[in-house]
Structure 1
Amino acid sequence: MGKKVVVVGAGIGGLSAAIRLQHAGYSVEIYEKQSMPGGKMHQIREQGFTFDVGPTLVMMPSIYQDIFRLCDRNPDDYIPMTRLDPMYEVFFEGSPMRHYAINNNLPDLMKLVESKGPENAKGFLDYLSTLYTRYQVAYQHFITRPFRHRRDIYNPYMLVQAMKLKTFDSADHLMAQFMPDQDLQRMLSFQTLYIGVSPTNGPSLYNIIPMIELLYGIWFIKGGMHTMAEQMARLFEEIGGKIHYNANVQRIMTSDDGNQGKSGDKASGTAQSSGQSEVKGIHVRGIEVTGIEVDGRLVDAPYVVCNADFPYAMKHLIDSPKVRGKYSPKKIDKMDYSCSCLVFYWGVKGTYDKLSTHNFVISSQYDENLRSIFDGTEIQQPSIYLHIPTQTDTSMAPAGMSTFYALLPISELGTAQYEWNEQTVKLYRDKVLEALTQLPGLENLEEDIIFEKVATPQDFEHEFNAYRGATFGLQPTLRQSNHWRPQAKAKHCKGLYFTGSSTHPGAGVPIVMQSGKICAEELRRDEKGDTFE
């Protein structure tokens, strides 16, 4: 067996990297804080109801399947999938409420856009063609590759590719250029919230998200999204990997730690006062990772893959300011973070054949809603995502009942201008119920709820170490994407690597899986003797 690799966290990025490294001949062990794999792809099972805690929507199914094919497994034996038709339903608040059932059947889509007039129909086709071209450039040259050196991006060829992406526009403004109909614009731009950024300032490249849905469909994994995490963990153990659950990692150890003091407080203070300058003139080439500290005991390893949220790791797991480099505590606090989520998990009496597995309620105060999410003011009239997995998999609730997952995008803790307490939760619960009771068949929803759990931004911060409760990690703004985003390979410490939604290439389950792949490839590249800088 090859050299030992320790992975901090059994989230999807960590599992993706761990499987690839174990398959390549390394001896890999994962240390996971929770009692189950998946990170935010967690699961609640109570009173016969099964809830996914975080991600719920499967896009780009081939990426999910590829990790099993890599190990010569049939993906259908691990993650049986069903294509959803319709993919989702969209309800626009108003009198009357406007309703659209969206699938990825081109004749049906053309019927919808043509009903809005020929200008919208032509614009829709132009949108698909234009964004598909940009998607191919992004996938080939940015999403699937690391940026470990400045020359990896600052060269004539890559600069030409970057210009092809035309990322300087916002997602919603770009859609308005293609289609004048406001409902179509919003149906094809709100998906940037999947990765925690507003369509009003998210780079227009992220309009590839609805394009991917329309071209490849939305799928459902039997048992819910947590099945993916369970089965990746199963695969990892089948090929010889080991997972330690209920194992809380307190520190990533490096050869520089002896110069920082036992707690690292002095080093942290220095980093905070000096900002990014603490690495100037410091010779860091000789610093190496030495292992991790888990529940007070030391685990030695020449390689560490950190799947903990990158900002959290830099502030709480790494003591040395030399290893942190420019990501000092002061820098971390100044970075832009994605929105968070408030999620209500409801076990509900009855079944609801007038709704789909995925349902979106778009606020009549759409613009104000988006502003409040990202400026931290109280949301007056939220947009709601309602996931009903029992519409596809009835085993996720007792017979004759349904599992509801009601989510509203909400300000992360560093932005919110209000406290999270029982009154805040009740305030938003009432708003969610008010919006959902307008949907067909949900007139008596509150009376039909027989089980309830809630996840607030504080819960995401505490349970999953999501920095400031930002569910999707660092916001994928232009200045926090591609080569400007934290990379897989630590800049100032040999043997240390990162994966997850706050690292390149970003958030979203398929993209985080790609992050794990890049992370594994970077480690293997160094093992083969590439120059360490």
Structure 2
Amino acid sequence: MKKSVSIIGSGFSALAASCYLAKAHYDVTIYEKNATIGGRARQLKKEGFTFDIGPTWYWMPDIFERFFGDFDKKPSDYYSIEKLNPAYNVYFGELDYISIEDSLEKICATFEKEEAGSGAKLRSFIASAQENYDIAIKDLVYRPGVSPLELVTPKTIKKLGLFMSNIKKMVRSEFKNKRLAQILEFPVLFLGAKPSDTPAFYNFMNFADFGLGTWHPKNGMYSVIEGMAKLAQELNVKIHTESPVEKIITKNGKATGIVVNGKTIESDIVLSGADYHHSETLLDKKDRQYSESYWKKKTFAPSSLLFYVGFSKKLENVVHHTLFFDVDFDVHAEAIYDDPKWPKEPLFYASFPSKTDASAAPEGKEAGIFLIPLAPGIEDTPEVREQYFDIIMERFQRLTDQDITKNIIFKESFCVNDFVKDYNSYKGNAYGMANTLMQTAFLRPKLKSKKVKNLFFTGQLTVPGPGVPPSLISGKLAAELINQHHPIQ
């Protein structure tokens, strides 16, 4: 007999889980609180401009291929991608930047030009990163974080030292040039912690960057959400928007349904793809696994101050993805992780999707997304947002040698308060819980509730961790656990 599954939220992990469950013949319904699907990956459309509100980087194309392949489909059945060249530019000073191109050969040549001998070092560094990538993707990330033994394989035992060391130590022992070291440390920011707090094993992110490259889905990351939703609907998943879940109903230690807009919906299984901390607040206190003090002690990935800006002209000296590392990274990182406060001189990232994709802006105009990483839970006011917009615009103009303030048609901002309001995000975090050593695999919040039967979780606060590809994997793992514990007879 069919079993019903109610899924809370419609981000990447929830949509992925819905597809796997529907394929296994569960009766699946998604409930999304916002007016559009996608969770953090929603879209903003204004005056002919289109912005991805959340993720803008398409990395690890193999994970997307594997996801769609599980349904005998290909990503290209739903959306098209192109490889970016350059993948991104990194600014260190006025018109002083390093361009990361679209092949390891070209990147090695760039490194060599910057520091003699570093090209050969990079080849060997990326070979080891690729080995770790293969172990991570084949052996580790598709495991449900139930037991420490999941981490113990003949291959991982050989890599034990890499779990004890950290990315910063590993990079700086090989690369003395500060600029090159910063470029190699950049990808772990996607994992939500400082390079000095991220196990060296995670250098597999460097292979994702330099080996697999940076891609762009036509019409933006939202086209991936639309593709996944289309697949879900082809598999008979029902999706309801403007349907906030107000309570998870339990009876005798078992989840029996949810309350949506005041209406009780009975369900055999409940799966939450919403923020984990928030999901547990939908339960009576006795049914919660983790206390408030548990969450307070955890290292959360940063929040962000984002600006979505429409420009009346094409911008110069920038590419689709442009990073601004012209200030001290360590000082900014302290303001996020060690002594949470607004950074005096923030690093920032800018994305100009209209450099690649004509759909992002009207002809002759430019769409710009600017992001400053911040400590979660920080005070967020309109005045502070305005102040930081001025700070980064002044630097942006100076570094790229152009005057653009008169060309701003509009700007919209999104920060800590919006992450809380729109996504019920704990402390307004943007990326979930960081992948530090003590928050890896089985040490993360569990996919299956330890207290309530028939209740499961998925997303970036559980396994495997932050980022879009891990969210797809998280959805698969949660669906497999449900199938294991509640098989359809």
- Is the TM-score greater than 0.5? yes
Question: Following TM superposition, by how much is the alpha carbon of 1:122 offset from its aligned partner in structure 2, in angstroms?
Answer: 2.9
Match in the other structure for 2:64? 64
- Give the Cα–Cα distance (whole angstroms) in 1 for the partners of residues 110 and 412 of structure 2: 38
Match in the other structure for 2:203? 207
Q: Structure 1 residue 408 and structure 2 residue 372: aligned? A: yes
Match in the other structure for 1:437? 397
CA offsets per residue over residues 369-415 of structure 1, 9 Å max, x none? Answer: 221122213311111110000011111111111110000101111xx
- Give the Cα–Cα distance (whole angstroms) in 1 for the partners of residues 95 and 176 of structure 2: 20
CA offsets per residue over residues 195-251 of structure 1, 9 Å max, x none? Answer: 322223222233222321111111101111111112211221122110010000011
Match in the other structure for 1:304? 270
Match in the other structure for 1:216? 212
Residues 40 and 423, structure 2, Cα contact 8 Å, conserved in 1 = yes
Q: Structure 1 residue 336 and structure 2 residue 295: aligned? A: no
| Aligned AA (2:101) | N
Which stretch has the larger CA shift, 197-206 or 506-515?
Answer: 197-206
Match in the other structure for 2:98? 100
Could you state the TM-score of these two structures normalised by the residue count of structure 1? 0.87
CA offsets per residue over residues 154-213 of structure 1, 9 Å max, x none? Answer: xx6479538536122232221111211111100010222223222232222332223211
Residues 137 and 164, structure 1, Cα contact 8 Å, conserved in 2 = no
Residues 303 and 416, structure 2, Cα contact 8 Å, conserved in 1 = yes
Distance 1:387 1:165, change over 3 A: farther
Match in the other structure for 2:381? 421
Residues 89 and 100, structure 1, Cα contact 8 Å, conserved in 2 = yes
| Aligned AA (1:473) | G
Residues 88 and 360, structure 1, Cα contact 8 Å, conserved in 2 = yes
Secondary structure of 1:188's counterpart equals: helix
Match in the other structure for 2:288? 324
Match in the other structure for 2:111? 113
Match in the other structure for 1:351? 314
Match in the other structure for 1:82? 82
Which is greater in Rg? 1
- Give the Cα–Cα distance (whole angstroms) in 2 for the partners of residues 160 and 63 of structure 1: 21
Match in the other structure for 1:196? 192
Residues 304 and 374, structure 2, Cα contact 8 Å, conserved in 1 = yes
Match in the other structure for 2:347? 383
- Give the Cα–Cα distance (whole angstroms) in 2 for the partners of residues 399 and 238 of structure 1: 35
Match in the other structure for 1:263? none
| Aligned AA (1:317) | L
| Aligned AA (1:499) | T
Residues 196 and 340, structure 1, Cα contact 8 Å, conserved in 2 = no
| Aligned AA (1:293) | V
- Give the Cα–Cα distance (whole angstroms) in 2 for the partners of residues 462 and 55 of structure 1: 18
Distance 1:160 1:19, change over 3 A: closer
Secondary structure of 1:431's counterpart equals: helix
Question: Following TM superposition, by how much is the alpha carbon of 1:137 offset from its aligned partner in structure 2, in angstroms?
Answer: 2.2
Q: Structure 1 residue 248 and structure 2 residue 244: aligned? A: yes
Secondary structure of 2:342's counterpart equals: coil
| Aligned AA (2:475) | G
CA offsets per residue over residues 30-72 of structure 1, 9 Å max, x none? Answer: 0000111110001101111101101000001132233333333
Which stretch has the larger CA shift, 19-28 or 362-371?
Answer: 362-371
- Give the Cα–Cα distance (whole angstroms) in 1 for the partners of residues 318 and 434 of structure 2: 31
- Give the Cα–Cα distance (whole angstroms) in 2 for the partners of residues 354 and 427 of structure 1: 24
Report sequence identity in percent: 29
CA offsets per residue over residues 323-377 of structure 1, 9 Å max, x none? Answer: 323x122222222211100001000011135321100010322221221122213
- Give the Cα–Cα distance (whole angstroms) in 1 for the partners of residues 42 and 242 of structure 2: 14
Structure of higher RCO (CA pairs closer than 8 Å, 6+ residues apart): 2
Q: CA RMSD in A?
A: 2.0
Secondary structure of 1:405's counterpart equals: strand
Secondary structure of 2:40's counterpart equals: coil
Q: Structure 1 residue 144 and structure 2 residue 107: aligned? A: no
- The size of the alignment, in residue pairs, is 488
Q: Structure 1 residue 475 and structure 2 residue 434: aligned? A: yes
- Give the Cα–Cα distance (whole angstroms) in 2 for the partners of residues 528 and 247 of structure 1: 28
Which stretch has the larger CA shift, 330-339 or 469-478?
Answer: 330-339
| Aligned AA (1:505) | P
